[in-house]
Chain A
Amino acid sequence: MPAPEPKWSFRHPNAAYSVAFSPDGTRLATASLDNTAKIWNLETGDEQRTLRGHGDGVCGVEFLSQGQQLVTASLDKSVRIWATDTGTLLATLSGHQNYLTCLAVSEDERLFATGGFDDVARIWNRDAGTSQRVLSGIGGPVYAVAFSPDGTMLATGNENQSLQIWELSTGREVRACAGHSGTVESVAFAPGGSTLAAGCGDETARIWDVASGRLLVTMTGHAGLVKCVAFSPDGTQLLTGGQDGTIRLWDAATAKELAKIDGHANSIYDVAFSRDGKWLASASFDRLTKVWHLPR
């Protein structure tokens, strides 16, 4: 399949670390090592807003409240909430003792999860603006966090090759998915919540059965770390981005590679699907975030 041309290519003056579509698909948020997040208009390609205030690279970004707010996470150890229409900073959440490296938002948007180089994951109550639970048994720098769709569990991936599933009500580890032989770089629950994907430093992505912790399929093909994973909205496909600068689309059931896009000149740090499943976005250390029509 020939590599498609991106619909848009947005540039930060430093590495792009994270990307998110707005719920209505009209805007894209990007986060960068340049200490900013930006919002882009996907109809015109214009840069709408730059959010400044973080003191270090911004590593996570998600839309909230039907796109009226944006949450960002930064290596500066803080999580911030912004009004998208004005760029006003609404709240700052602090607590990590070392670099904060990853962010997740629960489906009901009441909870945030973050992980950091202080070897813990924190669960934040958005309304209270406080950290309501600290998961401290992870045993290494946390590279990835993901909420289960029902908001009862959190998956964490860490530098010590562990993929763990935690029960949020108790803070107890309920499952460890053993078998990765490299850093667990990224995690994502499938829309139904029954399976969990992880991208790994051993150049694979794997899909696990959440209930049993059983390995279901392994995607091989990336030449280097698999740094990011995202399920399609219907859960049938998995998108991965890698250190090799490629974006790959896989059949989530069979692990067959459906498409490969040689899209970037450096590691891909994040990938995302639009909610309608028609578009995908990739954020790369090459400073670019690209928006692609989903290969068919």
Chain B
Amino acid sequence: MLNLYGSRGGHYCDGVSRRSFLKIGGLAMGGLALPQLLRAEATSGVGRSHKAIIMVFLSGGPPHQDMFDLKMEAPVEIRGEFKPIHTAVPGIEICEHLPRLAGMMDRLVPIRSIVGSEGRHAAFQCQTGQTVKQQPAGGWPSLGATISKLKGPASAGTPPFVGLAPKMRNATWADPGQAGFVGQAHAPFTPNASGEVNLSLSGINLQTLGDRNALMKDLDRLRREVDSTGEIAGLDAYHQQAFGILTSNRLAEALDLDREDPKLRDRYGRGDDVNAGYGDAGPLQNDYFLAARRLVEAGVRVVTLAYGRWDWHGRPHGTNFENARDHLPQLDIGLSALLEDLEARGLQDDVSVLVWGEFGRTPRINKKGGRDHWPRVSCALLSGGGIRAGQVIGSTNRLGEHAETRPVHFQEVLATMYHNLGIDVNRATINDLHGRPRYLVDHSAYQPLPELV
């Protein structure tokens, strides 16, 4: 792990001034060798617009019927506690606890009929579109890894794929998107994951990071030190990536939220570092939304993040509705801020935002006030990337049990994401480890959503 200590700041409500810090750990980004990265440092910035995707994974399976598909005609044991509210698009209603998103519905597309979940508590299917079972050798590549492979870096010194998920007790929710058979060179850079690599650069902080000469001296010193022990030859690609990232401060600056206008950071809602709910998933960290915007602005093509804990089986860890009252308003603040911010920067047509989870939740509320797993149908929210927004796709039956119209498979959503990045899922292939060309989705069955593209 690399710890980059920033300037003092971060005044908390308890009055304590704490060192803000940026952790660069779990350096799972491969591909570019150190010399390339060192050269890349000298190149100019992104400058040009590029297409990008921000995927927000709602770990645990968000309740579709309490967010974007309220079932007011259902009996009380199914209907739940929330009321729908009107949105900016006449005829579309969503949960009362998502008022900001309701106000920007003309820029959103709720999908109410996601099907095909394998029912596994994992980010895997959202990241890859595939099921865990029967993977090819090396495993299915995630959306981010695939785009990394096909598109490469958008700018020098910036990885194409960043996963912001922190380490979690339930590791399957922290999965930022695996490299799979496209190889570790295309695994995400994971600045919030902890610990696989222990490496510290003493004396380097964000101030000196901005001072390239000082940085290079520090790196030279470190290289000499490890050279003298003969360890440099043993440094693997991850370590080399660490050097590379440090030599280009574009990424570090993107991740340093202290550089952002505090008012804008407030608008995003900031959030908590403490894990939400049972503690086995990630925090409700709205800074991730802001970091995602900064990363795509810096040239990252795909940013994934995990947000909160949505596996709400009920007491004694709070009912589905208590947890929803906790999570939904914060999601509403953070996500709406992200979309507004992208629009303010003219990035709305370049950046696709996708929000979803691994499955939906049971129509019937259980005795503990919770809703259990419901793989038969779930929901997603899309925005940006040039899609035709302001419409709802699909519907479920009166009780929210199954897709009644327009079932949408995970792979159709990912196909739409590929389309938004200019990738034709009917043509693009990547060779697997046996040299067999693989399509990005099962294109014989799944295409970009024609309603949107």
Residues of A within 8 A of B (CB): 11, 13-15, 33-35, 46-47, 56-57, 59, 75, 99, 101, 117, 159, 224, 243, 265-267, 285-287
B316 and A34 within 8 A (CB): no
A265 and B325 within 8 A (CB): yes
A57 and B316 within 8 A (CB): yes
Residues of B within 8 A of A (CB): 13-14, 81, 272-274, 276-279, 283, 315-319, 322, 325-326, 329, 367
How far, in Å, is B10 (CB) from chain A's closest CB?
Answer: 15
- Distance between Cα atoms of A243 and B82 in the complex (Å): 13
- Distance between Cα atoms of A34 and B14 in the complex (Å): 18
- Distance between Cα atoms of A184 and B13 in the complex (Å): 37
Q: What are 13 A-B pairs with beta-carbon distances under 8 A?
A: A14-B274, A14-B276, A14-B279, A34-B274, A35-B279, A57-B316, A59-B316, A99-B316, A159-B367, A265-B325, A267-B319, A285-B326, A287-B326
Contacts of A286 in B (CB 8 A): 325-326
Contacts of B14 in A (CB 8 A): 46-47
Contacts of A56 in B (CB 8 A): 278-279
A266 and B274 within 8 A (CB): no
Contacts of A287 in B (CB 8 A): 326
Pick the contact of B322: A13, A75, A267 (CB < 8 A).
Answer: A267
How far, in Å, is B259 (CB) from chain A's closest CB?
Answer: 25
Contacts of B276 in A (CB 8 A): 14
Contacts of A243 in B (CB 8 A): 322
Closest A residue to B319 using CB positions: A267
Contacts of A15 in B (CB 8 A): 318, 322, 326
How far, in Å, is B320 (CB) from chain A's closest CB?
Answer: 12
Contacts of A224 in B (CB 8 A): 81
- Distance between Cα atoms of A47 and B13 in the complex (Å): 11
- Distance between Cα atoms of A101 and B322 in the complex (Å): 17
Pick the contact of A285: B278, B283, B325 (CB < 8 A).
Answer: B325
B367 and A33 within 8 A (CB): no
Contacts of A117 in B (CB 8 A): 316
Pick the contact of B272: A13, A35, A57, A265 (CB < 8 A).
Answer: A13
Contacts of B329 in A (CB 8 A): 265
Contacts of A285 in B (CB 8 A): 318, 322, 325-326
- Distance between Cα atoms of A132 and B52 in the complex (Å): 63
B274 and A13 within 8 A (CB): yes
B322 and A11 within 8 A (CB): no
B317 and A57 within 8 A (CB): yes
Contacts of B81 in A (CB 8 A): 224
Closest B residue to A12 using CB positions: B274
- Distance between Cα atoms of A47 and B15 in the complex (Å): 11
Extra A-B contacts (20), CB below 8 Å, given A34-B279, A266-B322: A11-B13, A13-B273, A13-B274, A13-B283, A14-B274, A14-B277, A15-B318, A33-B277, A33-B317, A35-B279, A46-B14, A56-B279, A57-B278, A75-B317, A117-B316, A243-B322, A266-B325, A267-B322, A267-B325, A287-B326
- Distance between Cα atoms of A181 and B378 in the complex (Å): 33
Contacts of B278 in A (CB 8 A): 56-57
- Distance between Cα atoms of A75 and B314 in the complex (Å): 13
Contacts of A46 in B (CB 8 A): 14
Q: Which of A14, A75, A285 has the most CB of B within 10 A?
A: A14
- Distance between Cα atoms of A35 and B275 in the complex (Å): 11
- Distance between Cα atoms of A75 and B280 in the complex (Å): 14
The list of the 4 closest CB pairs from A to B, nearest first, reads A13-B274, A285-B322, A13-B272, A266-B325
Contacts of B317 in A (CB 8 A): 33, 57, 75
- Distance between Cα atoms of A286 and B323 in the complex (Å): 9
A33 and B318 within 8 A (CB): yes
- Distance between Cα atoms of A285 and B277 in the complex (Å): 11
Contacts of B326 in A (CB 8 A): 15, 266, 285-287
Closest B residue to A285 using CB positions: B322
A75 and B367 within 8 A (CB): no
Closest A residue to B367 using CB positions: A159
Contacts of B274 in A (CB 8 A): 13-14, 34
- Distance between Cα atoms of A260 and B373 in the complex (Å): 38
How far, in Å, is A175 (CB) from chain B's closest CB?
Answer: 25
- Distance between Cα atoms of A117 and B368 in the complex (Å): 11
- Distance between Cα atoms of A35 and B315 in the complex (Å): 15
